A and B are shown apart, each in its own frame.
Chain A
Amino acid sequence: MDPLTGTLSAIVGATHVIARPSELIVYENDGLPGYHKLPRLFVAPGNREEAIAVVRALAASNAPFVARGAGTGLSAGSLADGIVMVGMQRMRRIIELDPVARFATVEPGVVNANLTKAAAPHGLHYAPDPSSQTACTIGGNVAENAGGPHCLKYGVTMNHILAATVVLPDGEVVRLEAPRDDEIGIDLLGAFVGSEGCFGIAVDVTVKLTPNPARICTMLADFMTVDGAAEAVSAIIAAGIVPAALELIDAGTIAAVEASIYAAGYPTDAAAALIVEVDGPIAGLDEDVAAVGRICRAAGARTVRSATDAAERARLWQGRKKAFGAMGRMSPNLVVQDAVVPRTKLAPVLRAIAEISARYRVTVCNVFHAGDGNLHPNIPYNASDPDEAARVHEACDEIMALCIAEGGTITGEHGVGLDKLPYMDALFTPDSLDAMCRLRSAFDPARRANPGKVVPIHRCKEWLAAPGVEA
């Protein structure tokens, strides 16, 4: 038997340690299809003390580990290749919710949407809203610096985290706090958010709560050309309107959604549709709604529908939020992509993606956070057909190269994990990648937290110099 099984069982109880491969199989992948790695062991601490004791026990036996929230990640970031997986989902207590000071302190396993539910009676919510919000955890959101449709106006996870208690991989417990305006210091919290489980495990997180807007209006504008929709996106932002959300869905996505149980009534003959949501105080909102309508029509929108009642708004959103699921039903496999380009490059990049998809004979369905230029060109396919799988792979490589060439980046919210590792060399200089490694090794000098992810090991001078490391 694995010697760690006994040690860890003594901390969390035998029922919360899984050692049998047939049971570990549940944890061999995350939300991204195509990657499978079996952990050595799975251990689930039930509270802060247990989590700290687990990390210390792992440190004592020099065992590498990976934290896991809900496993909805889309970069294969929480996969544990023959190493220990520390599951945080049992830690789902809301420790404190202060509606007056507008913050909450939660355990990392709290599900994103449950926090908003708990804040709702006070007229508050937790603003970052990944489309996976009914499943993903705050710990996973912090690790990925998760975004969501409403991050256009309200900011991404980083902008909403006030503090975190972190167990470093060596077992030391540190408190990281957002810098105050009257104090200077190194922003360790800012560095920790988005560190993809490589800097230690967060055992509690303090987040900002945001007041609910007095009024919300959701609009759906459909266009006969993708260019028209992309043009409207730029024009809305340029007019000084900051919509709460500004999402683009193309014809491929509309077809997938409308053929699924999530049908939202999107026009199936349109080339693209925009979901534009404006929110805020009642005063001044009608003016913004009218302006958005005018701008969309000027950019060639055929119709602009708007909804202010909750049921109709939910219907307009449902298709967008469940789009990945609807695509997943179209074929056995789905590549979920994530990249960012400057907003003014949206139209040419979408045209180039269409050209790439035609050349490789693959179907690309675009559904994305257009206001941020954050693309999700997704490709449904059949992985058991090796020829198709190879074409999909090559098309993805070209799309990533295109986004980099246009001044963008290879991930806007899903993280690098394992999946985007091959593109890091094209995006950053060797010196910049080495600097990232230096930052990582300041948190984890023994390189035991989520090894092999985010930064290619061949770029880490300090690690390569360490005894026993091969490039």
Chain B
Amino acid sequence: MTARPASTDELATLVRDAHARGAALRFEGSGRWSDGRSPATRISPNAKRVSLAALSGVVSYVPNDFTLTVRAGTTLAELDAITAPNNQWCPLLSWGDDHGTVGATFATATAGPCSEALGRPRDIALGLEFVDGTGTVIRAGGHVVKNVAGFDLTRLMVGSFGSLGAITEVSVRLRARPTADVTWSVTADGPNAREQLSRIRRGTITPLACDVLSDEVARELGVPALSALVRFGGNAALIAAARAEVSTIGTIHVLDASVWTRYRSLDPHPRRLDARPLDGAVAGRIKERFDPAGIMNPGVFGERA
């Protein structure tokens, strides 16, 4: 049976108990990312499932600070709904669907098509709260956009895939949504079409995203073969200039922004995700110090559970 702690304290008690007994735990957010290719499939099958989905909702949001603190079980769709009325967004736009949780997105450091332009989870996280493998509640970083006080536990946790602790709360940096936000498919032809399309990334106006699609993905999304999926954001004059420049590279078709949601959640996914083994003395010593009993998502990095 899956445990569903409703507060950080409940989770801490649960982990403390598991730590004392040496009982393995497997953390999940929405629990949807369980296909055969996820590193999560490596977690010991005997581990007790702990869902963090009940830890959800806003902790604090001052729109003019452009920062937001939410509990880990908040979904990406909810995050979008919370910020949209203020014309803001947390531009994670991570691979996967919008039912994914904030906690899992940061724990797995899942990037997305806009990450190069708008930041990866490690660039967007300002601070977080987590429960380590001994059941201790730890606050890392803070809520402000610049902070170098102390060693960076935030960067340590982002991408550690629940192997050092379970994230319960995340503070993120927000941005204003661009005044104009356009999505195009750009189609070229000829033997160098793909190379030509990738030049859009290095144009005088940097796109928010530019992915040159495989034939299979293009078919799946219903755009012509030899296309790039492109997004630009900015003021109207900037978009007009981008259009003029991109139209010298290929034919532009205006698409609805919802194509990104479909693209990000394609199954099977165009991007693979592999785990870097926990090699090296430093990573090993970190694991020992944050999860001495080896109970937190054991095996996720391919280490012996």
A385 within 8 A of B: no
B153→A184 contact, CB < 8 A = no
B150→A433 contact, CB < 8 A = yes
Which stretch in B246-254, B256-264, B280-288 binds the other chain?
B280-288
A429 CA to B44 CA, complexed, in Å = 33
Known: A184-B276, A214-B204, A411-B149. A238 touches B122 (CB 8 A): no
Which residues 143-175 in A have Cβ within 8 Å of B in the complex? 144-145, 147, 151, 155-156, 158-159, 168, 172, 174
Question: Using an 8 Å CB-CB cutoff, how does the interface string of A164-199 with B read, 1 for contact, 0 for none?
Answer: 000010001010000101111111101101110010
B278→A186 contact, CB < 8 A = yes
Residues on B with C-beta less than 8 A from A340 are: 142, 144-147
Smallest distance from the beta carbon of A286 to chain B beta carbons, Å?
7
Partner of A186, one of B62, B145, B160, B240: B160
A283→B237 contact, CB < 8 A = yes
Question: Using an 8 Å CB-CB cutoff, how does the interface string of A258-297 with B read, 1 for contact, 0 for none?
Answer: 0000000000000000000000111110111000000000
A283 CA to B246 CA, complexed, in Å = 14
A367 within 8 A of B: no
B286→A186 contact, CB < 8 A = yes
A287→B235 contact, CB < 8 A = yes
Residues on A with C-beta less than 8 A from B139 are: 428-429, 432
B176→A237 contact, CB < 8 A = yes
Smallest distance from the beta carbon of A105 to chain B beta carbons, Å?
21
Chain A residue at smallest Cβ distance from B66: A237
B177→A179 contact, CB < 8 A = no
B158→A190 contact, CB < 8 A = yes
B265 within 8 A of A: no
A439→B153 contact, CB < 8 A = yes
The interface size of chain B toward A, counting residues with CB under 8 Å, comes to 76
Residues on B with C-beta less than 8 A from A172 are: 281
B123→A159 contact, CB < 8 A = yes
Question: Using an 8 Å CB-CB cutoff, how does the interface string of B277-304 with A read, 1 for contact, 0 for none?
Answer: 1101111011011100000000001000
Known: A181-B115, A182-B271, A184-B39. A413 touches B62 (CB 8 A): no
B111→A181 contact, CB < 8 A = yes
Which stretch in A4-12, A352-360, A368-376 binds the other chain?
A368-376
Known: A181-B120, A432-B140. A281 touches B238 (CB 8 A): yes
Known: A342-B144, A408-B144, A438-B290. A187 touches B204 (CB 8 A): no
B146→A240 contact, CB < 8 A = no
A410→B155 contact, CB < 8 A = no
B64 within 8 A of A: yes
Smallest distance from the beta carbon of A424 to chain B beta carbons, Å?
7
A342→B62 contact, CB < 8 A = yes
Known: A185-B301, A373-B145. A436 touches B62 (CB 8 A): no
Chain B residue at smallest Cβ distance from A429: B139
B158→A439 contact, CB < 8 A = no
A281→B142 contact, CB < 8 A = no
Partner of A168, one of B138, B282, B289: B282
B275 within 8 A of A: yes
A179→B122 contact, CB < 8 A = yes
B7 within 8 A of A: no
Residues on B with C-beta less than 8 A from A413 are: 146, 148
Chain A residue at smallest Cβ distance from B158: A187
Known: A194-B152, A408-B142, A455-B150. A284 touches B160 (CB 8 A): no
Smallest distance from the beta carbon of A37 to chain B beta carbons, Å?
22
Which stretch in A20-28, A109-117, A321-329, A440-448 binds the other chain?
A440-448
A407 CA to B144 CA, complexed, in Å = 8
Known: A181-B120, A187-B160, A240-B177. A435 touches B132 (CB 8 A): yes
The interface size of chain A toward B, counting residues with CB under 8 Å, comes to 82
Residues on B with C-beta less than 8 A from A409 are: 142, 144, 146-147, 149
A145 CA to B141 CA, complexed, in Å = 14
A187 CA to B106 CA, complexed, in Å = 12
B237→A284 contact, CB < 8 A = yes
A185 CA to B287 CA, complexed, in Å = 12
Smallest distance from the beta carbon of A246 to chain B beta carbons, Å?
12
B138→A432 contact, CB < 8 A = yes
Partner of B109, one of A179, A198, A238: A179
Residues on B with C-beta less than 8 A from A92 are: none
Which stretch in A50-58, A78-86, A301-309, A414-422 binds the other chain?
A414-422
B23 within 8 A of A: no
B156→A287 contact, CB < 8 A = no
B274→A184 contact, CB < 8 A = yes
Residue among B67, B146, B242, B286 with most chain A CB within 10 A:
B146
A462 within 8 A of B: yes
Known: A156-B146, A190-B156, A372-B145. A283 touches B238 (CB 8 A): yes
Known: A187-B109, A428-B150. A344 touches B65 (CB 8 A): yes
A427 within 8 A of B: yes
A342 CA to B173 CA, complexed, in Å = 12
B108 within 8 A of A: yes
Which residues 161-216 in B have Cβ within 8 Å of A in the complex? 161, 163-164, 175-179, 204-205
A225 within 8 A of B: no
A369 CA to B146 CA, complexed, in Å = 10
A442→B285 contact, CB < 8 A = yes
Known: A240-B179, A429-B139. A184 touches B151 (CB 8 A): no
Chain B residue at smallest Cβ distance from A345: B65
B41 within 8 A of A: no
Residues on B with C-beta less than 8 A from A186 are: 156, 159-160, 163-164, 276, 278, 283, 286
B21 within 8 A of A: no
A442→B282 contact, CB < 8 A = yes
List, sorted by A's number, 23 A–B pairs whose CB atoms are closer than 8 Å.
A179-B109, A184-B301, A185-B283, A187-B159, A188-B283, A191-B151, A195-B152, A238-B64, A280-B238, A281-B241, A284-B238, A340-B145, A340-B147, A342-B62, A343-B65, A344-B64, A372-B146, A407-B144, A409-B146, A415-B148, A416-B148, A432-B150, A433-B150
Which residues on B are within 8 Å of A, measured CB to CB? 39, 62-67, 87, 108-109, 111, 115, 119-120, 122-123, 132, 136-140, 142-153, 155-156, 158-161, 163-164, 175-179, 204-205, 234-242, 271-278, 280-283, 285-286, 288-290, 301
The 6 lowest CB-CB distance pairs between A and B, nearest first, are: A190-B155, A185-B276, A284-B238, A283-B241, A240-B176, A442-B285
New A-B pairs, 14, CB < 8 Å, besides A191-B155, A198-B151, A238-B176: A144-B148, A151-B146, A183-B273, A185-B159, A237-B66, A240-B179, A283-B205, A284-B237, A287-B237, A372-B145, A412-B148, A431-B138, A436-B151, A442-B282
